[in-house]
Chain A
Amino acid sequence: MVSDRRVVVTGLGLVTCLGLELEENWKKLVEGVSGIGRPTLVDSKAATIQAVGEVNAYDWQRIQETFREDSLAEGERRTLFALWAARSALQDAQALDGDSNRYRHGVILAAGLGINRIEDINRWTDQTGKFDFFRFGREYENVHRESLVRNLSHRPAGLIAKKFGLRGTQTTVTSACAAATQAIGLAYRNIRRGDADLVVSGGADSMINPIGLVFFVLLKAASTTSENPKSLCRPFDRKRSGLVMGEGAGCVVLEELSHALNRGARIYAEVVGYGSSMDAYRVTAPHPQGRGAAQSMGMALKDAQMHYKEIDYINAHGTSTKPNDLVETVAIKTVFKEYAYRIPISSSKSMIGHLLAASGAPEFVYTVLSVQRDEIHPTINLRHPDPKCDLDYVSEVKRSRPVRAALSNSFGFGGQNASIIAKKYNAT
Chain B
Amino acid sequence: MRKQIGQRQNAPFQGERIAVTGAGIVSALGQSVPAVWDALLAGAHGIDRIVGFDPGGFDCQQAAQAPDLNPQELGIHSKDARIMDKLAHMLIKCGLDAIRESGLHETSLPREEIGMFVGIGMVDYEVKDLLPAVLKSIDAEDRIDYDAFYSAGYQEIYPLWPLSMLNNITCCLAAIHLDIRGENAVFSPDADAGAEAIAEGGKTLLAEKARAVIVGGVSEKVSPMSLARAHLNHILNTTDQAKEKRCRPFSKHRKGTILGEGCGIMVLEPYSSAIERGISPMALISGYGSACEVDESGPGPTPGSIAYAMKEAVRNAELAPADIDVIIAHGDGTYSGDKNEIEAIHGVFATVVDRINVYSSKGALGNLLSGSPAVDAVLAVRMLQSGIIPPTIHCAPKESHIRFNIVQKRPLQAYPKRILINSQSYQGRCASLVLESCSN
Where the two chains meet, the residues of A that have a C-beta atom closer than 8 Å to any C-beta of B are 1-5, 42-48, 103, 106, 111, 113, 116, 118-119, 121-122, 125, 129, 131, 133-141, 143, 145, 147-149, 151-155, 158, 161-162, 166-176, 179, 182, 186, 189, 193-195, 210, 213-220, 275-284, 291-292, 295, 299, 303, 412-416
Q: Is B232 an interface residue (CB 8 A)?
A: yes
Question: Of the candidates A141, A174, A176, A276, which one forms a contact with B187 in the assembled complex, judged by CB atoms under 8 Å apart?
Answer: A174
Q: Are A189 and B203 in contact (CB under 8 A)?
A: yes
- Contacts A2-B5, A5-B7, A131-B131 hold; do A148 and B232 have CB atoms under 8 A apart? yes
Q: Are A141 and B130 in contact (CB under 8 A)?
A: no
State in angstroms the CA–CA spacing of A377 and B229 once bound together.
43
Residue of A nearest to B111 (CB): A280
Q: Are A136 and B57 in contact (CB under 8 A)?
A: yes
- Contacts A46-B150, A125-B131, A170-B292 hold; do A276 and B162 have CB atoms under 8 A apart? no
State in angstroms the CA–CA spacing of A45 and B147 once bound together.
7
Q: Is B171 an interface residue (CB 8 A)?
A: yes
**Which A-B residue pairs are the 4 nearest by beta carbons?**
A137-B57, A414-B172, A158-B427, A174-B167
State in angstroms the CA–CA spacing of A133 and B53 once bound together.
7
Least distance between B80 CB and chain A CB atoms (Å): 8
Q: Are B428 and A121 in contact (CB under 8 A)?
A: no
Q: Are A194 and B10 in contact (CB under 8 A)?
A: yes
Q: Are A171 and B181 in contact (CB under 8 A)?
A: no
- Contacts A106-B292, A116-B125, A137-B54 hold; do A171 and B187 have CB atoms under 8 A apart? yes
Residues of A within 8 A of B135 (CB): 125, 129
Q: How many residues of B contact A (CB 8 A)?
A: 98
Q: Are B176 and A283 in contact (CB under 8 A)?
A: yes
- Contacts A4-B7, A218-B159 hold; do A182 and B185 have CB atoms under 8 A apart? yes
Q: Are A277 and B232 in contact (CB under 8 A)?
A: no
Least distance between B237 CB and chain A CB atoms (Å): 15
Residue of A nearest to B200 (CB): A186
State in angstroms the CA–CA spacing of A170 and B206 once bound together.
21
Residues of A within 8 A of B130 (CB): 116, 118, 121
Q: Is B184 an interface residue (CB 8 A)?
A: yes
Given contacts A103-B291, A292-B181, A412-B168, 7 further A-B contacts (CB under 8 A): A122-B142, A148-B225, A154-B190, A154-B193, A158-B427, A215-B162, A295-B181
Residues of A within 8 A of B186 (CB): 173-175, 179, 416
Residues of B within 8 A of A279 (CB): 181
Interface residue ranges of B91-145 to A (CB < 8 Å): 111-112, 116, 120, 122, 124-125, 127-128, 130-131, 133-135, 137-138, 142-144
State in angstroms the CA–CA spacing of A118 and B425 once bound together.
28
Which of A46, A168, A275, A412 gathers the greatest number of chain B CB atoms within 10 Å?
A46
Q: Are B162 and A218 in contact (CB under 8 A)?
A: yes
Interface residue ranges of B365-380 to A (CB < 8 Å): none
Interface residue ranges of B404-440 to A (CB < 8 Å): 425, 427-429
Q: Is B173 an interface residue (CB 8 A)?
A: yes
Question: Of the candidates A4, A106, A283, A299, which one forms a contact with B169 in the assembled complex, judged by CB atoms under 8 Å apart?
Answer: A283
Q: Are A173 and B171 in contact (CB under 8 A)?
A: no
Residues of A within 8 A of B173 (CB): 283, 414
Residues of B within 8 A of A291 (CB): 181
- Chain B 135-179, CB-CB to A under 8 Å as 1, else 0, gives 101100011101111110010011111110111110111011011
Question: Of the candidates B151, B179, B200, B425, which one forms a contact with A154 in the assembled complex, judged by CB atoms under 8 Å apart?
Answer: B425
State in angstroms the CA–CA spacing of A171 and B181 once bound together.
23
Which of B149, B167, B193, B233 gathers the greatest number of chain A CB atoms within 10 Å?
B167
Q: Is B305 an interface residue (CB 8 A)?
A: yes
Q: Are B159 and A219 in contact (CB under 8 A)?
A: yes
Interface residue ranges of B38-94 to A (CB < 8 Å): 53-58, 83
State in angstroms the CA–CA spacing of A152 and B230 once bound together.
11
Q: Are A140 and B58 in contact (CB under 8 A)?
A: yes
Q: Are B138 and A166 in contact (CB under 8 A)?
A: no
Residues of A within 8 A of B252 (CB): none
Q: Are A167 and B291 in contact (CB under 8 A)?
A: yes
Q: Are A162 and B6 in contact (CB under 8 A)?
A: no
State in angstroms the CA–CA spacing of A153 and B292 once bound together.
16
Q: Are B56 and A137 in contact (CB under 8 A)?
A: yes
- Contacts A119-B144, A148-B229 hold; do A217 and B154 have CB atoms under 8 A apart? yes
Q: Are A133 and B55 in contact (CB under 8 A)?
A: yes
Q: Are A282 and B232 in contact (CB under 8 A)?
A: no
Residue of B nearest to A131 (CB): B127
Q: Is B357 an interface residue (CB 8 A)?
A: no
Least distance between A310 CB and chain B CB atoms (Å): 20
Residues of A within 8 A of B83 (CB): 283
- Chain B 1-29, CB-CB to A under 8 Å as 1, else 0, gives 00111110110000000000000000000
- Contacts A118-B149, A153-B167 hold; do A275 and B428 have CB atoms under 8 A apart? no
Q: Is B253 an interface residue (CB 8 A)?
A: no
Interface residue ranges of B198-237 to A (CB < 8 Å): 200, 203, 206-209, 224-225, 227-229, 231-233
Q: Is B183 an interface residue (CB 8 A)?
A: yes
Residues of B within 8 A of A154 (CB): 188-190, 193, 425, 427, 429
Question: Of the candidates B9, B224, B428, which one forms a contact with A162 in the assembled complex, judged by CB atoms under 8 Å apart?
Answer: B428
Q: Is B180 an interface residue (CB 8 A)?
A: yes
State in angstroms the CA–CA spacing of A93 and B167 once bound together.
32
Residues of A within 8 A of B228 (CB): 136-137, 140, 143, 148
Which of B181, B190, B293, B305 gathers the greatest number of chain A CB atoms within 10 Å?
B181
State in angstroms the CA–CA spacing of A207 and B104 once bound together.
40
State in angstroms the CA–CA spacing of A136 and B425 once bound together.
26
Residue of B nearest to A106 (CB): B292
